[in-house]
Amino acid sequence: MRHKPRTDSGLRQKQAVTQLLQQGRQEEAWRKIRAHLTLVPYDGWFLHEAARLARRSGDLDLAQRYYQRALKLAPQDAGLLNGLGLTHYDAGRWSEAEACYQAALKSHEGYAACHNNYAILLHKQRHYHLALEQYRLALLSKADYTEARYGMSTLLAHMGQLQEAESQMQQVLHVRRSDLRCRNALGMVQLQQGNFSAGWSNYQARYAPDNPDRFFTLPKLPMRYWKGEDLCGKTLLVRTEQGMGDEIQFSRFLPRLKTEKQAESVIMLGSKPLKPLMFSMPHLDHYLTREEAQHALPQADYWCSLLDLPQHFLNSTQPFGAHHPYLFSPKEQQAKWPILGSGKKIGIVWKGSTGHKNDSQRSLAHLSQLAPLFDLPDNNWISLQKGAGEEDITDFPHVQPLGALFSSYRDTAAVIAQLDLVIGVDTSVIHLAGAMGKACWVMLPAWARDWRWLANRDDSPWYPQMRLFARGQDEEWSAVVARIKQALQQQ
């Protein structure tokens, strides 16, 4: 009977902490937990709650210490092992996280949440087939596990299994209609399959305020957002939103706002590196950088984000249409960039921005991977590479290193205008070549291919002169290079 009051006190403490957490009063819960652990330092329940609170607040070192103390009491506790795995994952310690998840699943087979967490880790590491197995095990254990179903749907999209990805996303949205993160992912899958009407509509979720994974937030501008209203006699302000390649690709719609939608004036708010180039575009009245617009925002009747423009042209005879080329390089600019040598002039670019989330898949590791092409006779090779990877050129003195000298896309365009062909990975440079009407061969990654390259096609409706060389999921880049070499030999 002597110990009963202490047991009752501990129970009351647990109930109080649980109630505080349910009410969102985390600071008060923390104080009670710490006070209790001062008196009873190895109370497993309180250690677990302390660990979870520390992890959720971002104090990962403290969370790890609490989990490890709790595991001394219960070394095979699956919940503790899973929590410690999440802590390691959040800290970027992936091998430690994997060991914890495996131990948790060994202790508790069919632990759905842990299967899901392990799948997320494997997906992040691009172990796609192993991740898919873990997602399926999570859903086998808990059929209504919507978060696991969403994770699996995005994985299937990255694996190119687009129809199954869409099916899983539709199931998620049937349960969670307001899941804008899923709606955005669905939009990209639909666009890649050529379902443009539904795709562009769902893709608007990319900036929805309630989307936790939104790409960006729409700015608050002092004019209405354009949703297809009559533009006759009106001024439309268009704002770029994502990368340079996006701006180059979708700027094709700017002239069409005047020629087809009868806008009186079109103003583009774009990127500083593209400004000198964009002046060459017909029917564009003004081009301001976003930085310039912060000081003096031009007057307009409506505004629109650049990648929302395509949906307003879907009913036209040429929904992707542009008068190719729609970007140009003046002769005087080209004269500043003479290309030496004779034979076919071929420009190459082998790396994209290292900040791109899929750069490890889309970029080549080194220029040497293109070296088999250099054996072909009567070809004059010109590097268009600027930034990451440009130093690779030192090993290939027969390749003219012009890219490293570029100061703007106007310089890049001046060289592209003189070429017969551009060969490259999926970067802004290949979009520029396409916009200039230049023949362009694009090397596409095997995994997480961008939605703008339609499934099961080796051409592009966006750029008539473009040819796609997609890497198979069981191929190395060397196989793609071999196919390009064969195509060059057949010309």
| Per-residue pLDDT tens over the stretch 415-433 | 999 999 999 999 999 999 9
245 inside domain = yes
Q: What are phi and psi of 346, to 5 degrees?
A: -125, 120
Mean pLDDT, to the nearest integer, of 356-366? 86
Q: Report DSSP state, residue 338.
A: P
- Write down which residue in 157, 179, 201 finishes a domain: 179
Mean pLDDT, to the nearest integer, of 237-261? 94
Domain interval for residue 155: 4-179
Contacts of range 395-403, beta carbons closer than 8 Å, 24 or more positions apart:
395/367, 395/368, 396/367, 396/368, 396/371, 398/374, 399/348, 399/367, 399/374, 400/339, 400/340, 400/341, 402/337, 402/339, 403/349
Mean pLDDT, to the nearest integer, of 483-487? 97
Residues 233 and 279 both lie in one domain = yes
Q: State yes or no: pLDDT of 1 exceeds 60.
A: no
Residues 138 and 277 both lie in one domain = no
Q: pLDDT at position 256, please?
A: 94
Residue 12 and residue 24: Cα distance in Å, rounded?
18
Query: Domain of 234: which CATH number?
Result: 3.40.50.2000
**pLDDT class of 17 with cuts at 50, 70, 90:** low
- Burial (Cβ within 10 Å: 0-12, 13-18, ≥19) of residue 53: buried
Question: To which residue do tokens 């997906």 refer?
Answer: 123
| Per-residue pLDDT tens over the stretch 60-100 | 999 999 999 999 999 999 999 999 999 999 999 999 999 99
Q: pLDDT at position 290, please?
A: 81
Residues 339 and 471 both lie in one domain = yes
201 inside domain = no
Q: pLDDT at position 2, please?
A: 40
Residue 214 and residue 205: Cα distance in Å, rounded?
7
| Residue (of 386, 270, 385, 410) closest to 329 by Cα position | 410
Contact predicate 28/38, CB 8 Å: no
Contact predicate 141/115, CB 8 Å: yes
Residues 8 and 117 both lie in one domain = yes
* Total domain count, the chain: 3
**pLDDT class of 317 with cuts at 50, 70, 90:** confident
Lowest mean pLDDT among 10-19, 229-238, 273-282, 473-482: 10-19
Q: What is the CA radius of gyration of the chain?
A: 28
DSSP string, 183-248: HHHHHHHHHHTT-HHHHHHHHGGGG-TT-TT-S------SSEEPSS---BT-EEEEE--S-HHHHH
- Write down which residue in 110, 145, 179 finishes a domain: 179
Residues 243 and 346 both lie in one domain = no
Number of neighbours of residue 95 by Cβ within 10 angstroms? 9
Q: pLDDT at position 23, please?
A: 63
Mean pLDDT, to the nearest integer, of 355-365? 84
Residues 476 and 347 both lie in one domain = yes
**pLDDT class of 9 with cuts at 50, 70, 90:** low
Lowest mean pLDDT among 21-35, 41-55, 287-301: 21-35
- Write down which residue in 313, 340, 373 finishes a domain: 313
Lowest mean pLDDT among 32-41, 134-143, 203-212: 32-41
| Per-residue pLDDT tens over the stretch 159-181 | 999 999 999 999 999 999 999 99
